[in-house]
Each structure stands twice: as structure tokens, then as C-alpha cells.
A and B are shown apart, each in its own frame.
Chain A
Amino acid sequence: MSRDWLYLDYAATTPVDACVAEVMQRYLTYADEFGNPSAQHAAGRAAMQAVDEAAESLAALVNCDPGRLVWTSGATESNNLAIQGIARSRAQEGRHLVTMPTEHKAVTDVFRALEKQGFEVTWLRPGRDGRLNLAELEAAIRDDTQLVSIMCVNNETGVVQDIAAIGKLCADRGVVFHVDAAQAVGKLALDISALDVDLVSMTAHKLYGPKGIGALYVRKRAGVNPEPLFFGGAQQGFLRPGTLPVHLIAGFGAAAAIAGESILDDFTHLKLLNERLWHGIESLPGIVRNGDAETSYPGILNVSAGGIDGESLLLALEPLCVSTGSACNSQSQEPSAVLRAMGLSDALAESAIRFSFGRPTTVADIDRAIDIYRAAVIRLRGLLPEAA
């Protein structure tokens, strides 16, 4: 396959920034700082210094205590550690948990697994705008509720939840609050110290860092003591044992430092691209924007074209690299659970396409995407039969 494609799938993953790749190179070969950071000798200490510096960078980006960051393999593991870890550690106090069906599978599948283990989960549906109704959350929290898990930025629609208000509500009721911030860190100004959040999942590859490295912020507070998922060493206070991947961690730190410097410029750039794309396609009949523009992260634009099959649209959009809101390419052939939970019909959910933009995306890229999308929708509409 040639590189003729136009990549507009930055919510799936981002390319590693060249400066980040350069930093990672310093922790691999014999000529570099390749040591095991758990070792006490000079090579080990040099590696640990890189880990500490990365923690400082990431902590500065999200304004938290670097000592409260746990390195993981990515947001999926962070979510598992937070949700399973808290559910198990607090099971004696109660077995009721709260989340939303619009969360990423790395969260919903964990809750479903816990349901099979005897935990009770309340699934709060969003409004048509994708946002959580705070009154419904308040009503859902019970005396035996141990954990609320709500994502910051939705990975399909870009809808941003009111984390401050949700956190305050949880704090007032004494419930542990976990936030999947995989799509938010480095993109929105996230001030963990100012928020009532107990656990925050992060990942590097959404912010121009490497794949395979993530972090979990764990607030130092009574009752926030997740049980480990793995056993086998004293690293990271026994919470997440295993040799630390220094090159990945250093890459995460470097990516966080760059994000901290460019976050405002990035946001302005993405907003411009988002508005340009939407204005370029909104005149097509039957086009629907999924998620409110005012309350959504501008790096993601999710649109439906009623009546058109999502898989066909995805193929007709080549060489655009975008995502379908439906899972028609998978075995399940089910429309997006996120969009269905927001109240979209199957027909609209199945035709949903997620465009997501990044630092390298240009206005010319967006104009090309507009032309391709318009042509594809018009062509596929031209194939539609009329009911007899």
C-alpha cells in the first residue's frame, strides 16, 4: 500500500514527534543510558534519572505530584488498574459502581467483567449531546457506591464531560472518582490538583509519544489504594511491578514537555480545522454532527450521513484514513454503542465517520478531505434504492 493516504485519525494514534524519537534513542544501546532503573549502580541511577525527569514533565503538564504517577503499558492497563484495583480494594465496603455506556471499551469491558464477578454497575446514559446529567449521577450514588468512572474526552465524538462538577459531587459523597483522560492529556488544560479526581488514566501515543507506555495518577487519599493487577517485584511500590521501559517513559516525558509548550497553539489550530471541515460538508443533505460543537474537543469531528452504510462510506473515502462509528468491519457488525447511547438511530450510527486532526494536519488536507467526503456521499446516495 502506498503512502498516498491522508491521515485524519489522530484520535486513534499520533505519529511520534521527531524530537521525542530522538530522546528515546538515548536509552537503548550500549552507547546510551540503557541501564535497569531499579539497579543501584551508576548505569541504573542514570536510567532512573531519566524516569524521574519524565515524571516531572508529565506531572507539570497535568499539574500533579510526580510521585503519584504509576507507569503502565497504556491507558487500557491504567483503566484496568484503577477500576479493578479500587473495586477489589473496597469490596468490603460495598460493591456498587457507576459509569456510562459511552466510555471506551477499555472501561466498559472492565465493568462488564466486574458485573460477572458479582459487582453491581449502574450505567448512566448521556443526553443527546453526549454529556452526563449530573442530577442522574447524584441520584445513582448510593451508600454502597465505591467508584465512579467517567472519561474526560470521548474518543468517538470529542464530547467533553464536566469533570470538575462530577468530581465535586463524588468528593461530597465520599466516592472514589476515576477519569479516563487518554484523549484529554496534552490536548486540554488538565489541572489535576484543582480537580476532585482520585485516579486519572493517561497514554503517550495520543500526544505524539510512543505506543506501549501510559500512566495512572493515584491521589494520596484514604480509600484510594488500588490493588495491583500483577505481582513480581517491588517496582512502583508493588502497585505495578516489572522493569520500567526507560526509552518509552523518556519518550512520554518528552512528548508531555512538547505538549505543554504547544497546547494552546494546538487547540487553536484544531479548532480552525474542525470548523473548516464542518462548514465544507454541512450543506450536504442529511448530514448530522454528533456531539455539540461548543462542548466538544475540536480535534475530533464525528458526522453521520443518513442512509449510507458506514463500511461503504469508509471505503469510498479512501485515501482518507478515518474511522467509522460503526464496527461493521468487525465480526459484530453492530453500530457504535456510543452513538446509540446518545440516541442516534441505527441508520445514523452506522453511517458515522470520525475525523480527527493533529499537529501535522494542514488546511489543504482539510480541503482535500472535504472534496473526497462530498464526492463519496453523493456517489453512494446515487446508489440508494427507493422503497417499492
Chain B
Amino acid sequence: MVADPYSPLTRRLFAEPTHVAPAAGELAEGHSVYLASQGLEVRLNANVSSGRLEALTFRASGCPHFIAACEWLCRHLEGKPVGALDALKPAEIMQTLAIPVTKTGRILVLEDAVRALGACLGRDQTP
């Protein structure tokens, strides 16, 4: 039988994401970045408290690997210091979710969104 193109973790994150952001109009507070590239779209929303990512949510359009990666990074980074956004490594996401190398470009798009969110939060927290 041909190997399943999706790892069990990818399947689980894609099927049951728990960090889907409310629609833009329903967002009460927090910071948000939107990025569209290579046919992919992602919006990341963060609420920060005491220098930590209190809540991190997403909305996205893309392949299952991309959506699973969005959900994974929200789970992974939530509760961590804001600086963790800049420390995120695409290779870690790809390895954890067993994403094929042909989809590296998609994870780099997500990395760009994460970096943009980090920059946004950094600006707003500068005295």
C-alpha cells in the first residue's frame, strides 16, 4: 500500500484544530497579521500578557500540511515569551509533522507570518 502522505499528527491537527481564531469582525482585542503568498493565506492573532503569548490563534487557507502547521505552532507557542516567535525554526515544524520537502515553501510562508507577528508585537511593546 502507498504510504499515507499525512502523518497521524498532521491528520489530527488538521481534523481537530482548537486554535481557530474568531472571524475578524468578532476579534475583541489583540494583535493580528495577515499574509498571502504562493496561493496560501494565513492570519495569526495574539493576545499578550506580561510579555507572554497568552492566546495565539489562526485562520488559514492551504493544504492539510499548512493548516496542521498553523495549529501546531499555536499550540507550541501559546504561553511562551513573545521572543519565542523569532526563535521558531521551520525545520522543527517540518520534522514534527513529517512534511515533505516539496512543501518547504509553504512552511516558509508560515515562518514569514510568525516573524511578522513578532515584529508587530515588538513594535507595540517598545516604550
A386 & B43 in contact (Cβ 8 Å cutoff): yes
Within 8 A of A (CB), among B76-104: 102
A385: contacting residue among B61, B63, B64, CB under 8 A: B61
* Residues in chain A near residue B41, CB distance under 8 A: 384-385, 387
How far apart sit A253 and B55, CA to CA, in the bound complex (Å)? 65
How far apart sit A312 and B60, CA to CA, in the bound complex (Å)? 11
B99 CB, min distance to chain A CBs, angstroms: 13
Cβ-based interface call for A139 (8 A): no
A383 CB, min distance to chain B CBs, angstroms: 6
How far apart sit A315 and B17, CA to CA, in the bound complex (Å)? 14
A383 & B64 in contact (Cβ 8 Å cutoff): no
Q: Chain B 39-64 against A: per-residue CB contact (8 Å), 1 yes, 0 no? A: 10111000000000000001111111
B64 & A311 in contact (Cβ 8 Å cutoff): yes
* Residues in chain B near residue A387, CB distance under 8 A: 34, 36, 41
A309 & B1 in contact (Cβ 8 Å cutoff): no
Cβ-based interface call for A388 (8 A): yes
B57 CB, min distance to chain A CBs, angstroms: 11
Which of A312, A350, A382, A388 has the most B CB atoms < 10 Å from its CB?
A312
Cβ-based interface call for A319 (8 A): no
* Residues in chain B near residue A346, CB distance under 8 A: 39
Which of A316, A350, A385 has the most B CB atoms < 10 Å from its CB?
A385
B42: contacting residue among A312, A328, A385, CB under 8 A: A385
* Residues in chain A near residue B24, CB distance under 8 A: 385-386
How far apart sit A5 and B114, CA to CA, in the bound complex (Å)? 37
Number of interface residues of B (CB under 8 A): 27
B62 & A309 in contact (Cβ 8 Å cutoff): yes
How far apart sit A378 and B27, CA to CA, in the bound complex (Å)? 20
How far apart sit A15 and B58, CA to CA, in the bound complex (Å)? 43
Q: Given A346-B39, A350-B39, A312 and B63 touching (CB < 8 A)?
A: yes
Q: Given A309-B61, A350-B39, A385 and B67 touching (CB < 8 A)?
A: no
B108 CB, min distance to chain A CBs, angstroms: 15
A315: contacting residue among B6, B23, B39, B60, CB under 8 A: B6
Chain A contact residues: over half helix, strand or loop, or mixed? loop
A313 CB, min distance to chain B CBs, angstroms: 10
B14 & A315 in contact (Cβ 8 Å cutoff): yes
* Residues in chain B near residue A328, CB distance under 8 A: 63
How far apart sit A20 and B17, CA to CA, in the bound complex (Å)? 46
A383 & B60 in contact (Cβ 8 Å cutoff): yes
How far apart sit A384 and B61, CA to CA, in the bound complex (Å)? 5
B67 & A312 in contact (Cβ 8 Å cutoff): yes
Which of A1, A308, A329, A384 has the most B CB atoms < 10 Å from its CB?
A384
**Nearest opposing residue in chain B for A335, CB measure:** B39
Cβ-based interface call for B30 (8 A): no
B14 & A385 in contact (Cβ 8 Å cutoff): no
**Nearest opposing residue in chain B for A328, CB measure:** B63
A311 & B59 in contact (Cβ 8 Å cutoff): no
**Nearest opposing residue in chain B for A329, CB measure:** B5
Cβ-based interface call for B119 (8 A): no
* Residues in chain B near residue A350, CB distance under 8 A: 39
A385 & B59 in contact (Cβ 8 Å cutoff): yes
**Nearest opposing residue in chain A for B65, CB measure:** A311
How far apart sit A307 and B42, CA to CA, in the bound complex (Å)? 13
B59 & A384 in contact (Cβ 8 Å cutoff): yes
Q: Chain B 10-49 against A: per-residue CB contact (8 Å), 1 yes, 0 no? A: 0100110100100110000000111010010111000000
Which of B5, B64, B102 has the most A CB atoms < 10 Å from its CB?
B64
How far apart sit A309 and B32, CA to CA, in the bound complex (Å)? 23
A311 & B63 in contact (Cβ 8 Å cutoff): yes
**Nearest opposing residue in chain A for B38, CB measure:** A333
How far apart sit A333 and B14, CA to CA, in the bound complex (Å)? 20
* Residues in chain B near residue A315, CB distance under 8 A: 6, 11, 14, 64
A20 CB, min distance to chain B CBs, angstroms: 25
Apart from A385-B41, A386-B23, A387-B41, what 14 extra A-B contacts exist at CB < 8 Å?
A311-B63, A382-B20, A383-B60, A384-B41, A384-B59, A385-B24, A385-B42, A385-B59, A385-B61, A386-B43, A388-B32, A388-B33, A388-B34, A388-B43
Q: List 15 A-B contacts (CB under 8 A).
A: A309-B63, A312-B64, A315-B11, A315-B64, A331-B102, A333-B102, A346-B39, A350-B39, A385-B24, A385-B43, A386-B34, A387-B41, A388-B32, A388-B33, A388-B43
Instruction: Give the 7 A-B residue pairs with the shortest CB-CB distance, closest first.
Output: A388-B34, A385-B43, A385-B59, A311-B63, A386-B24, A315-B64, A385-B41
